[in-house]
A and B are shown apart, each in its own frame.
Chain A
Amino acid sequence: MTQPILQIEDLRTHFFTDRGEIPAVDGVSLHVHAGEVLGVVGESGCGKSVTSLSVLRLIPSPPGKIVGGAIRFKERDILRLKEREMRGIRGNAISMIFQEPMTSLNPLFTVGQQIREAVSAHRGLGKKEARAHTVDMLRKVGIPRPESIIDEYPHQLSGGMRQRVMIAMAISCGPELLIADEPTTALDVTIQAQILDLIRRLNEENGTAVMMITHDLGVVAEMCDRVAVMYAGKVVEEGTVRHIFKNPLHPYTQGLIQSVPRMNEQRRRLFSIPGHVPILHTQMRGCRFADRCQHVMPACYEQLPELVELEAGHRSRCLLHEVKFKEDVV
Chain B
Amino acid sequence: MSEPLLQVEHLKKYYPIERKWFGKQGAVVKAVDDISFSVMQGETFGLVGESGCGKSTTGRALLRLIEPTGGQVRFDGTELTALSAKELRMKRRDMQIVFQDPFSSLDPRHTVQRILEEPLIVHGIGDRQERQRMIRELTDVVGLAQSHLQRYPHQFSGGQRQRIGIARALSLRPKLIVADEPVSALDVSIQSQVINLLQDLQEEFGLTYLFIAHDLSVVKHISDRIAVMYLGRIVEIAEKDKLYSAPRHPYTQALLSAVPEPDPDMRRARILLQGEVPSPADAPVGCAFHTRCPKVMDICRARRPELAETGEGHLAACHLYPDTLQEDERIHS
Q: How far is the CB of B259 from chain A (nearest CB, A)?
A: 6
Q: Which residues of A contact B195 (CB under 8 A)?
A: 261, 270
Q: How far is the CB of B34 from chain A (nearest CB, A)?
A: 23
CB within 8 Å for A261 and B220 given contacts A216-B260, A217-B188: yes
Q: Does any Cβ of A come within 8 Å of B189's Cβ?
A: yes
- Pick from A188, A221, A222, A246: contact of B214, CB below 8 A: A188
Whether the pair A220, B276 counts as a contact (CB closer than 8 A) is no
Residue count of chain A within 8 Å CB distance of chain B: 47
A residues 243-287 touching B (CB-CB < 8 Å): 245-246, 255-257, 259-264, 266-267, 269-274, 276-277
Is the pair B264, A221 in contact by a Cβ cutoff of 8 Å? Answer: yes
Question: In the complex the two chains form, is B196's CB within 8 Å of A262's CB?
Answer: no
Q: Are A193 and B272 in contact (CB under 8 A)?
A: yes
Contacts of B160 in A (CB 8 A): 276
Please determine whether B216 and A262 come into contact, CB atoms closer than 8 angstroms: no
Q: Chain B contacts of A269 at CB under 8 A?
A: 196, 199
Residues of A within 8 A of B262 (CB): 217-218, 220-221, 245, 257, 260, 262
Shortest beta-carbon distance from A305 to chain B in Å: 19
Identify A215's interface contact among B51, B187, B273, CB under 8 A.
B187
**Given A263-B216, A276-B190, A193 and B221 contact (CB-CB distance below 8 Å):** no
Which residues of chain A are near B263, meaning CB under 8 Å? 221, 245, 262, 264
Are A255 and B51 neighbours in the complex by a CB distance under 8 Å? no
Looking at chain B, what size class is its interface with the partner chain?
A: 35 or more
Do residues B217 and A189 form an inter-chain contact, with CB atoms below 8 A?
no
| B244 interface residue per 8 A CB criterion | yes
A160 touches B259 (CB 8 A): no
* Binary flags per residue of B220-242, CB closer than 8 Å to A gives 1, else 0: 11000000000000000000010
Which B residues are CB-close (under 8 A) to A256?
Answer: 188-189
A197 interface hit (Cβ, 8 Å):
yes
Tell me, yes or no, whether B149 is within 8 Å of chain A by CB.
Answer: no
Residue among A189, A193, A217, A222 with most chain B CB within 10 A: A189
Residue B94 lies at the interface, judged by CB distance under 8 Å to chain A: no
Report which of A43, A161, A219 forms a contact with B189, defined as CB distance below 8 A. Answer: A43
Docked pose: A161 CA to B276 CA in angstroms = 9
CB distance from A279 to the nearest CB of B (A): 9
Asked whether any CB of chain B lies closer than 8 Å to the CB of A148, the reply is no
Bound-state CA distance A222–B260 (Å) is 6
Return the chain B residue nearest A252 by Cβ: B189
Complex Cα–Cα for A267 and B221 (A): 7
Q: Is B272 a contact of A218 with CB atoms below 8 Å?
A: no
Q: Which of B214, B254, B259 contacts A263 (CB 8 A)?
A: B259
Number of A-B contacts (CB under 8 A): 122
CA distance A301 to B160 in the complex (A): 24
Among A190, A215, A276, contact of B159 (Cβ-Cβ < 8 Å): A276
Interchain CB contact under 8 A, A221 and B258? no
Is B50 in the interface zone, CB < 8 Å from A? yes
Q: Across the interface, do A197 and B272 meet the contact criterion of CB distance under 8 Å? A: yes
Quick check: A242 and B264 within 8 Å, CB to CB? yes
Which residues in window 101-141 of A have CB below 8 A to B? Answer: none
Task: State which of A44, A221, A273 has its C-beta within 8 Å of the C-beta of B260.
Answer: A221
| A29 on interface, CB distance cutoff 8 Å | no
Does A60 count as interface, using CB distance less than 8 angstroms?
no
Q: What are the interface flags for B250-286 relative to A under an 8 Å C-beta threshold, 1 for contact and 0 otherwise?
A: 0000111111111110100010110111000000000
Collect the chain A residues with CB atoms within 8 Å of residue B193's CB.
Answer: 272-274
Q: Closest Cβ of chain A: how far from B56's Cβ, in Å?
A: 15
Contact present for B196 and A270 (CB under 8 Å): yes
User: A256 to B195, alpha carbons, bound, how many Å?
Assistant: 15
Shortest Cβ distance from B254 into A: residue: A190
List, in ascending order, chain A residues with CB within 8 A of B50's CB.
188-190
B contact set with A: CB distance below 8 Å? 50-51, 157-160, 187-193, 195-196, 199, 214, 216-218, 220-221, 241, 244, 254-264, 266, 270, 272-273, 275-277
Extra A-B contacts (5), CB below 8 Å, given A263-B220, A270-B195: A190-B255, A193-B272, A260-B192, A263-B256, A264-B261
Task: Identify the 4 closest CB pairs spanning chains A and B, nearest first.
Answer: A218-B260, A261-B221, A188-B50, A217-B262
